[in-house]
Amino acid sequence: MLLRSPFRFYIRKNWRPFALGLFCLLVTNTLDCLLPLLLKEVIDALSSKKNFSLIYQPLAIYLGLVCFVAIFRFGWRWAWSRYHQSVAEDLRNRVFDKYTSLGLSFFNRYPVGQLMSLITNDINTFRMGVGPAVLLFFDATFYCGIIIPAMIYLSPTWTWKTLVALPLLPFFVAKLENLIQARYNLRQEKFSELSGIAQEIVSGVRIIKGYALETEHTKNFNNVSREFESASNKASYAQAALEPVMQFVVSTGVVILFFVGSLDVVKGTATIGTFVAFLRYVQKLSWPMSEIGFGMSMLLEARASFARVKNVLVEPSDIPDEGTVDPIEFQSLEVRSLTFSYSEQREPALKNISLVINRGEKIGFFGPIGSGKTSLVNLFCRLYESKHGSLLINGHPIQNIKQSSLHRIFCLVPQNVFLFGDTIAYNFALGLESPPETDEIEIYSKRVRLHDEILATKNGYETLLGEKGVNLSGGQKQRLTIARGLIRNAPVLILDDVLSAVDAETEKAIIDTLEGSVLSDKKQTVIVVSHRITSLVNCDRIYVFDNGSIQAVGNHSELLTASGFYRSIYQMQMTEAIQ
Ligand SMILES: Nc1ncnc2c1ncn2[C@@H]1O[C@H](COP(=O)(O)OP(=O)(O)OP(=O)(O)O)[C@@H](O)[C@H]1O
Ligand SMILES: [Mg+2]
């Protein structure tokens, strides 16, 4: 229902504030439209000069009505704001849930800027359509529904003569609709392109400065910015055509009234009061006419935005969380004949991989750049899904395991460091069910040799990190993410190439910690991905990757004999270390 008819869906869902808003609006408009009739009474009483006191009563009623109009006007604004803000909240949450439920392949396809603009700009535009635009239509209908009968009551002849140009409107609006829709689409596309570029430039500012790419990027940004400006102007021109046409229709009515009405007043067939009241009604009509024009353009814009939101909402979940198995303890991880490509067009990143990892083992993944190590550990955590081959946990296909269980079993310390812009302590506690004690944080912080450096900062563990941990050095960030992985004490800890970035002493301290946890009662399983063989020498088994396949398996000494590739890299690394 939401996807087919979003307006109806949200009106039904939030019918209470919607109905209250409509009721207040109806009362406001009715009272407002009574005011010219009272004005007529006052003017006619004054022009007849019979009795000045005759104007007291209508004036008092006028004042009373104005107060009620103010109260009900506040009422509809309050109710309506609640209505469309909750629509935006609901849709925002749906889109955000979708973002979090989709696998990484979705994020590889959509630029971050586009996703950001969708959840902010497009949802806001939709809110304006489902809220204020719908309101404008109701307001216009109510107004016309009250004003036109009031005009007929005053003079049926004047009414049809002043409204003669009205039927032109639907024809004109229908003509403009497609043009406006196409131009809004283009503007939204340019906006998300622009925010994507801005986001990339801001995130990559260090590289841009380091490589002196400022001029090139500024030129690129300026070009897209100009395209956005031009698309916005085109959309505004199309929209701008609507309102003047509405106004023109009303102004024609005013001119006709002056011709027809004033003649009747001179002839004595109508009073001045009737003429003034009628004129007020015709002028009041200009408001609903403008509303229809304005509401129409908001509605078209909202439709274009919802179409973009819908594209994401209908995105099939490539990694559905439909599993029911919730293993209490991790026992084994088995990969059977697994082949994986990031997309159909690409060469597989992993080819026919088979391996078994049992509880308590310490496993090493070794291999050159781009040989598939990260791809495989990402598949263990179900960040991607492979269509060929299988991945079994405790003998169950990974698809049958609840995702929450997978997150409990695996702790992946990724190759790319990411820290949240909160305190150091917050980053330590990430993903833990209960916040760790300070002592515990310090223990792990010492193991990665970070404790003294944290104490040297002004607020210690309460130090606020800038965005993505900008106020820590690269090595400090790396060690903090390792400590964050260690403290989770997950059944399977995966360190994806994080040890090569720390110095030899810290590496040894971390390896000692890992060995301690593997040997402990908990029998933690550890997978260490590394280019540096010193990080892997004590592993029970090392898998040597090459171009997406496993080229050799064995412990360090077995591989030294069995794999020429492994031996030559080891010798090279040893020579480098001695030098
Ligand atoms: N998100 C992605 N989209 C498309 N292709 C990718 C993606 N990530 C990796 N690849 C490709 O998959 C292959 C394996 O990459 P992977 O990151 O698994 O290698 P790796 O062994 O971890 O390398 P490194 O040691 O440099 O971290 C490479 O050819 C890479 O270009
Ligand atoms: Mg990698």
The domain that holds 133 is classified in CATH as: 1.20.1560.10
Residue 520, pLDDT > 70, answer no
> Which residue carries 């402990």 as its tokens?
520
What is the maximum span of the chain, computed from C-alpha positions, in angstroms? 122
Picking from 313, 340, 371, the residue at the C-terminal end of a domain is: 313
CA 374 to centroid of ligand 2, rounded, Å: 4
Q: Where in the sequence is the domain holding 113, given as residue range(s)?
A: 6-313
pLDDT at 184 over 90: no
Residues 18-37 as b/e (b if ≥16 CB within 10 A, e otherwise) read bebbbebbbbbbbbbbbbbb
- Summarize pLDDT for 140-173 with one digit per residue, the tens: 888 888 888 989 999 999 999 888 877 777 677 7
The verdict on residue 136 lying in a domain is yes
481 within a domain of the structure (yes/no): no
**Is there a domain that residue 194 lies in?**
yes
- In percent, the amount of the chain with pLDDT more than 90 equals 32
- Residues less than 5 Å from ion ligand 2, measured at CB: 374, 415
> Residue 17 has what pLDDT?
93
Ligand 1 atom 24, closest CA = 369
Ligand 1 pocket residue status of 374, Cβ below 6 Å: yes
CB of 341 within 6 A of ligand 1: the answer is no
Digit-coded pLDDT (tens) for 215-260: 888 898 999 999 999 999 988 887 777 767 777 777 888 888 888 8
- The CB of 375 under 6 Å from ligand 1? The reply is yes
Which residue minimizes the CA distance to atom 8 of ligand 1? 375
Domain end (from 313, 341, 365): 313
3-state secondary structure at position 264: helix
H/E segment holding residue 325: none
Q: Is residue 421 part of a domain?
A: no
Token reading at 194 = 């622009």
Looking at the fold, whether 354 and 405 belong to one and the same domain comes out as: yes
| Residue 452 belongs to some domain of the structure | no
Closest of 388, 372, 415, 393 to residue 543, by C-alpha: 372
Q: Are residues 295 and 403 in the same domain?
A: no
Determine the residue type at 451.
Answer: H
Q: Looking at the CA of residue 367, tell me the nearest atom of ligand 1.
A: 21
Q: Would 513 be classed as within a structural domain? A: yes
- In sequence order, the 6+-apart residues with CB closer than 8 A to the CB of 540 are 361, 362, 363, 555
Residues 238 and 171 placed together within one structural domain of the fold: yes
Q: Do 93 and 140 reside in the same domain of the chain?
A: yes
**Chain mean pLDDT for the chain:** 86
Same domain, 298 and 164: yes
Q: Whose CA is nearest to atom 3 of ligand 1?
A: 342
125 C-beta closer than 6 A to ligand 1: no
Same domain? For 378 and 275 the reply is no
Ligand index nearest the alpha carbon of residue 366? 1
| Predicted confidence (pLDDT) at residue 521 exceeds the cutoff of 70 | no
Q: Which ligand is the nearest neighbour of the Cα of 500?
A: 1
State the pLDDT confidence band at 18, using cuts at 50, 70 and 90: very high
519 and 391 within one domain: yes
In the structure encoding, which two tokens stand for residue 548, read together? 């997406």
Q: Do 34 and 96 fall into the same domain?
A: yes
Instruction: For ligand 1, say whether the CB of 497 is within 6 Å of any of its atoms.
Output: yes
Please check whether residues 234 and 131 belong to one and the same domain: yes
The reply to whether 50 and 152 lie within a common domain is yes
Structure confidence at residue 89 as a pLDDT band (50, 70, 90): very high
Q: Single out the residue of 529, 540, 491 nearest to residue 375, CA to CA.
A: 529
Length of the chain: 579
pLDDT tens figures, 343-395: 877 889 999 999 999 999 999 999 988 999 999 999 999 999 888 999 999 99
Same domain, 309 and 338: no
Residue 272 maps to a domain: yes
In degrees rounded to 5, what are phi and psi of residue 153? -60, -40
Q: Count the domains in the chain.
A: 2
Residue 552 belongs to what H/E stretch? strand 549-554
Indicate if the pLDDT at residue 74 is higher than 80: yes
**Same domain assignment for residues 278 and 368:** no
* Residue 516 counted as domain residue: yes
Residue 410: helix, strand or coil by DSSP? strand
Predicted pLDDT of residue 70: 92
CB of 345 closer than 6 A to ligand 1? no
